[in-house]
Amino acid sequence: MVVRLLQSHSNDTELIPPPIQTQILSIISSSQVLVNRIHERIKELEKRGVVGKIKWVVVVREEVDDLRASLEAHRGSLGLAVQMVSIPTFKAIRGDVAGVKEDTTAIRDSVEDVRRDV
């Protein structure tokens, strides 16, 4: 779903800059590969019954733990990429708020001038 959203907005460079779009899509794609590998390993073991359970304890658990650790690293990278997208947005909002604050101060001063003149 996220990949489709990013792809549908791929021409909208104001939403997410192209280098960050590429990075996010790469992280999501790699994460999907890891999730699929974990899923495949678990499905293989489910088919083997008791032998699968023994193999899980002896071999596969460590492999899946490594895949999960990689997936966690991808999640952290994705979080950083999203924060990189958020920083310019927050700066723009801060700039807009500063402009509104200045306008409000000017309006207040104008109202005070009008009151004095009346």
pLDDT tens sequence across 6-38:
556 555 556 677 888 888 889 999 999 999 999
Residue 70 within a domain: yes
pLDDT tens digits, 38-93 = 999 888 877 777 776 777 777 788 888 999 999 999 999 989 888 887 777 777 77
Token pair belonging to 108: 């207040």
Residue 55 within any structural domain of the chain: yes
Q: Write the DSSP assignment of 42-81 as a string of letters.
A: HHHHHHTHHHHHHHIIIIIHHHHHHHHHHHHHHHHHHHHH
Domain count, the chain: 1
Residue 97 included in any domain: no
pTM over 0.75: no
Residue 72, domain extent: 2-87
